[in-house]
Amino acid sequence: MHTRSLGAEGPQVAPIALGCAGMSDSTAPADEAEAIATIHSALDAGVTLLDTADFYGMGHNEDLIRRALREGDREKALLSVKFGALRDPAGTFVGVEGRPAHVKSALAYSLRRLGTDHVDIYRPARVDPATPIEDTVGAVAELIQAGHVRHVGLSEAGPETIRRAHAVHPICDVQIEYSLFSRNPEANGILDTCRELGIGVTAYGVLAHGLLTGTYRRPAEGDPRAHWLPRFHPDNLDANLALVDRLRPLADARGITVAQLATAWVVSENRALGNVVAVVGARRRHRVEEALAAAAVTLTEDDLRAVEEAVPADAVAGTRYAAPLMTLLDSERTAAQPSHSRR
């Protein structure tokens, strides 16, 4: 499989990474046997980067990956692990933590659950506003020196934070929500900063939490997305689905699905945004196959122009998350809301 570098000093990876969250945290319980088979299928197809977090399923996801990595498979896999999102016994998120002591303690538990002596990329899930990013990244750098971690990553970090972190230790990649429906990383300088510093970008939410699958119509009874994702709210949904419909003839003309077109747009090498890797969440093998087929699609400059005219960057109705969740995103922070700094 054609690969790309995850940052100037990072590993070579496929343009598709496997997001494992849905195997443990989902509105519907996952079939563990199928989830493990999906991981095997991805590795066999050349997808090496597995994205997980210690809070996915309260540790269940890391344990699942340990069981999936058969003898010899650990060396095939690159484990990207997030830490720092705090949960209570009911599973409710109660804050973020980036203090050095927590960084090291969290890794110790992750290594035990994953059954490995190191993780390949370790990153805070969110920037802790109460802890200087220099301290958080410095702790990961010490873990690298000790041989427990290979690379430092960030998630949902803004340009200033990325620069401060990179000054402490080279950052491998920044994980950010990026799709046809979430174009802010283009406008707020995140992609430009990563390209300037030689940092990779791993894009999650490439299908906009399901809106860009081309099959989504109305939320099922009890679907929580309408509550914490404003783009699914009835006030916004019709307008957003109309944008999806504008992609349908473009996908049909290429003989692919809307989901594949949206994925191909993110990873297209014809876009002057550097090498972006799409983190595609999957619980079943056929989803991996669809994503790999999308990565193989070559979009011309005319194709890209047509897609972006169909879904202009400012046309999507609603913010990414509900207001309380938006406040946790350093990537969305304004100059009037600086993150904690030692300076």
Using DSSP bridges, classify how beta strands 85-87 and 93-96 pair: parallel, antiparallel or unpaired. antiparallel
Query: How many other β-carbons are positioned within 10 Å of the β-carbon of residue 56?
Result: 25
Cβ atoms of 99 and 129 within 8 Å: the answer is no
Question: Among this protein's residues, is 56 annotated catalytic?
Answer: yes
Helix (H), strand (E) at residue 19: strand 16-19
> How far apart, in whole angstroms, are the C-alpha atoms of residue 55 and residue 187?
30
Residue 189: name the closest of 150, 161, 168 by CA. Answer: 161
Tell me the three state secondary structure of residue 279.
strand
> How far apart, in whole angstroms, are the C-alpha atoms of residue 276 and residue 264?
11
Q: Across the chain, how many H-helices and E-strands are there?
A: 13, 12
From the candidates 56, 122, 216, 321, which is the catalytic residue? 56
- Any residues with CB less than 8 A from the CB of 91 and at least 6 apart, and which? 58
- Any residues with CB less than 8 A from the CB of 327 and at least 6 apart, and which? none
Active site residues: 56
